[in-house]
Amino acid sequence: MSRFKQLGPGWADVLNGEGLEDEMGVDFLVALGCEARLREAARSLALEEHLLGTHVDESDLANEQIRLAAQDRAQPEVVVFADGGLRVRARVAEGGLDFVQVGGAPGATVVLGETWVPLQPELVARAEGFKQMPSQLVVLDRRGRRRMLRPER
């Protein structure tokens, strides 16, 4: 097999029989042909990714992740819990959780373990000492009925 076949189709036909196998520039020519094929393959792959919409600019990816992480820390987590007409907005704040009743009859109370937090519509009520958002809220309505509020989707 001729070394010129590494250059791709057509090159071996042109260069075979010319007696160039032992010339000094043959290694360079073979390396140059391999580099050209590699670049062409990369270019066609990039074009295909672009046309399919799957292209990702990896140089911007690290900066974007840092920016998003900084945004996440700056904005507190807010979740709206609901069950029927009763809705409570909860937010993780420094030193505790803030609750605001945004729907339902007044007089509801959030129960977090041994801590009871009475709610009034549109007024902020705070539960001190909590650092994480609960997965669901136990709320007593004004008649004392226990209700489980789940996060709205």
Predicted confidence (pLDDT) per residue in 97-131, tens digit: 999 999 988 989 999 999 999 999 999 999 998 88
The predicted pLDDT at position 112 comes to: 93
Q: Tell whether 61 and 83 lie within a shared domain.
A: no
What's the pLDDT at 73? Answer: 53
- Residues of the domain holding 56: 3-66
- What mean pLDDT is predicted for residues 141-151? 91
pLDDT at position 124, please?
Answer: 93
Nearest to 137 by CA among 95, 91, 75: 91
Q: Are residues 97 and 144 in the same domain?
A: yes
Query: 15-55: per-residue pLDDT in tens?
Result: 655 666 666 677 777 778 788 888 999 999 888 888 887 76
Which of 66, 90, 109 is the last residue in one of the domains? 66
Q: Is 89:149 a contact under the CB 8 Å cutoff?
A: no
Structure tokens at 86: 């009763």
Q: Within this chain, do residues 83 and 146 fall inside the same structural domain, yes or no?
A: yes
Percent of the residues in the chain that have a pLDDT greater than 70, as a whole number: 69
Report the domain count for the chain: 2
In a shared domain, residues 147 and 80: yes
Q: pTM for the whole thing?
A: 0.51
Residues 62 and 114 in one domain: no
The pLDDT value recorded for residue 36 is 85
In a domain, 30, yes or no: yes
Higher local confidence (pLDDT), 59 or 99: 99
Closest CA to 40 of 16, 9, 17, 12: 9
Model confidence at 1, pLDDT cuts 50, 70, 90, reads: very low
Q: How far apart are CA 99 and CA 78, in angstroms?
A: 10
Amino acid at 31: A
Q: Are 128 and 95 in contact (CB under 8 A)?
A: yes
- Residue 97 · residue 119 · CB < 8 Å: no
